């Protein structure tokens, strides 16, 4: 079994898979959607363990740890975790639901920039690093419910785990191997987790890590962003480790003299001794802000967004095309219910139910009598009534509708249309009854007007009371001469 089983349309709880977004060593991330009333749709990112790990207790606990820790961090520069779902009995096991961010990883952005223009502009690089430092500062300061510091360390800070959105905002993600005091799983002594080229030296040799280990990784990222080069990458893992622990680190001005203001800052950030580094993410960010004006300043979010479009525009367009293709592929599944609704009259032509047939016949009979007192014929005015000769909807046609059309989500989407249908039928039935009543009343008044008689209660002018000051008629009598 492999991750390919999660094809377009696969269901993960209430989420419907649209396309694969990325894959890592432990899990695959998909773009999925959740739908609601009135065409509501929200895209989410779903992180699913690889099938070989989906039911392994250690990896499941790591996934649950990531969800719990990330959900506690509420910061605009951290990808929000919306929930965790699944079970041990499901094919995909447990999975994390996160906010979908349209954009590219910093790794992809740097790679594309290297191919196109060589490197990112320094102000854009500084903005991205400052956003990531803000996220790290929030994570390092995270406390539990009682206010106790959790001493969280991300331990996997790298360009792959910084998402730069098309909105120009950089966000930190993937707390899968983060160290915290209340984790379900703890890293065993001597075990190394993370990407070697971005590890702090103490982490690479299995020693204790703290917040300053993450800041070393941020120093590596800043160095690579402003120079457009890789710092510790070697041909093999052994060569990479040797560079990390022993190789001399060249200042950025070696490759670009305009970057000289960053030399001292990065020398401190990349110190191999933890005590020689910046003590906190806030201190690192202040140092960047102090020297930023000398290298072009810090770019605004809209400038970063422009760089994302320029460097990764083709990747974003490809993702949008995949999502649109998935929507089109899933559309016929919902079309069955729409077709049955149209057969019931929702699409415009409404057939009255059998209970309303007498009213319809009264309407047809009354049409032969000319309208009186300027009352319009409601059926002609509305145009909604159907000729009696028109065949009614055959309910057997609904039995031929595919079963997928009657799924819970399809029924939830259809009930507003059905409610509108029922209300419209009720309104038309009431209108028909009113017209029939007025026609009957007019027919009843016609004979009375011809004979001079008055029908009580029909509003005739002859039945109106005489004025109170009218003099009574006096009949003469022959006896009073």
- Which CA distances in Å does 407 have to 335, 337, 366, 403? 12, 9, 45, 7
Cα-Cα-Cα-Cα dihedral sign, residues 452, 456, 457, 462: positive
Cβ count within 10 A of residue 297? 13
Higher pLDDT, 459 or 257: 257
Query: How far, in Å, CA of 182 to CA of 53, rounded?
Result: 22
| Mean of pLDDT values over 108-118 | 93
> Please, which pLDDT band fits residue 319 given cuts at 50, 70 and 90?
very high
Query: How far, in Å, CA of 413 to CA of 465, rounded?
Result: 60
| Mean of pLDDT values over 149-172 | 94
Higher pLDDT, 107 or 387: 107
Q: What is the pLDDT of residue 339?
A: 46
Q: Selecting from 3.40.50.300, 3.40.50.620, 1.10.510.10, 3.30.420.110, what CATH number does the domain 102-314 have?
A: 1.10.510.10
The residues spanned by each domain of the chain are 1-100, 102-314, 336-388+395-443
Catalytic residue among 131, 156, 174, 214: 156
| Mean of pLDDT values over 284-306 | 97
> Please, which pLDDT band fits residue 441 given cuts at 50, 70 and 90?
confident
Least-confidence region, from 56-65, 97-106, 201-210, 270-279? 56-65
Beta-bridge partner residues of 11? 16
Length of the chain: 481
pLDDT in tens, 248-294: 999 999 999 999 999 999 999 999 999 999 999 999 999 999 999 99
Q: Percent of the chain scored above 90 by pLDDT? A: 46
Range among 41-50, 270-279, 346-355 with highest mean pLDDT value: 270-279
Least-confidence region, from 145-149, 189-193, 358-362? 358-362
CATH class of 1-100: alpha beta
* Burial environment of residue 370 by CB neighbours within 10 A (0 to 12, 13 to 18, 19 or more): exposed
Least-confidence region, from 246-255, 321-330, 368-377, 407-416? 368-377
Cβ count within 10 A of residue 374? 5
Query: How far, in Å, CA of 202 to CA of 245, rounded?
Result: 9
Nearest Cα neighbor of 96 from 155, 165, 158, 27 is 27
pLDDT in tens, 419-433: 887 888 888 888 888
Q: pTM for the whole thing?
A: 0.67
Cβ count within 10 A of residue 57? 10
| Mean of pLDDT values over 471-478 | 46
Is residue 358 a contact partner of residue 436, using CB atoms and an 8 Å limit?
no
Token reading at 454: 């008055």
The mean of the pLDDT values for the chain is 78
Q: What is the pLDDT of residue 180?
A: 61
pLDDT at 228 over 90: yes
Query: How far, in Å, CA of 202 to CA of 65, rounded?
Result: 23
Is residue 79 a contact partner of residue 69, using CB atoms and an 8 Å limit?
no
Active site residue 263: no
Q: What is the pLDDT of residue 88?
A: 66
pLDDT at 382 over 50: no
CA dihedral 176, 179, 181, 184 (to 10 degrees): 40
| Mean of pLDDT values over 443-467 | 51
> Please, which pLDDT band fits residue 20 given cuts at 50, 70 and 90?
very high
Query: How far, in Å, CA of 142 to CA of 364, rounded?
Result: 76
């Amino acid at each position: 079994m492999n991750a390919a089983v999660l094809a377009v349309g696969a269901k993960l709880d209430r989420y419907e898979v649209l396309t694969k977004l990325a894959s890592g060593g432990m899990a695959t991330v998909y773009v999925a959607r959740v739908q609601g009333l009135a065409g509501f749709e929200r895209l989410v990112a779903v992180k699913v363990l690889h099938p070989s790990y989906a039911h392994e207790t250690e990896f499941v606990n790591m996934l649950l740890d990531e969800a719990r820790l990330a959900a506690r961090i509420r910061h605009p520069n951290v990808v929000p975790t919306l929930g965790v779902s699944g079970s041990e009995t499901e094919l995909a096991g447990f999975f994390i639901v996160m906010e979908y961010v349209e954009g590219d990883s910093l790794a992809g952005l740097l790679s594309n920039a290297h191919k196109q223009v060589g490197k990112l502009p320094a102000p854009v690089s500084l903005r991205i690093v400052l956003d990531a430092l803000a996220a790290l500062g929030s994570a390092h300061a995270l406390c539990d419910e009682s206010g106790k510091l959790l001493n969280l360390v991300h331990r996997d800070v790298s360009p792959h785990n910084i998402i730069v959105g098309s909105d120009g905002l950089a966000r930190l993600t993937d707390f899968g191997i983060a160290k915290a005091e209340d984790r379900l799983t703890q890293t065993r002594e001597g075990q190394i987790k993370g990407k070697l080229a971005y590890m702090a030296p103490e982490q690479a040799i299995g020693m204790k890590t703290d917040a300053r280990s993450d800041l070393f990784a941020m120093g590596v990222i800043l160095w690579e962003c402003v120079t457009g080069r890789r710092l510790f990458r070697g041909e093999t893992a052994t060569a990479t480790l040797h560079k990390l622990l022993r190789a001399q680190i060249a200042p950025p001005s070696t490759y670009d003299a305009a970057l000289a203001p960053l030399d001292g800052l990065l020398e401190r950030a990349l110190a191999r001794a933890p005590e020689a580094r910046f003590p906190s993410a806030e201190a690192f960010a202040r140092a960047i802000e102090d020297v930023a004006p000398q290298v072009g300043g810090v770019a605004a979010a809209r400038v970063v967004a422009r760089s994302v479009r320029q460097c990764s525009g083709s990747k974003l367009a490809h993702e949008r095309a995949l999502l649109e293709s998935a929507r089109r592929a899933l559309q016929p599944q919902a079309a069955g219910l729409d077709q049955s609704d149209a057969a019931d009259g929702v699409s415009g032509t409404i057939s009255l139910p059998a209970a309303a047939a007498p009213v319809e016949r009264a309407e047809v009979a009354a049409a032969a009598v000319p309208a009186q007192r300027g009352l319009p014929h409601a059926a002609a005015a509305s145009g909604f009534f159907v000729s009696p000769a028109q065949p009614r909807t055959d309910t057997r046609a609904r039995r031929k509708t595919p079963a997928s059309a009657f799924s819970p989500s399809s029924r939830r989407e259809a009930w507003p249309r059905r409610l509108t249908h029922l209300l419209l039928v009720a309104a038309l039935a009431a209108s028909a009854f009113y017209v029939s009543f007025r026609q009957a009343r007019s027919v009843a008044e016609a004979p009375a007007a011809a004979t001079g008689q008055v029908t009580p209660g029909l509003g005739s002018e002859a039945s109106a009371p005489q004025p109170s000051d009218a003099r009574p008629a006096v009949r003469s009598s022959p006896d009073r001469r």
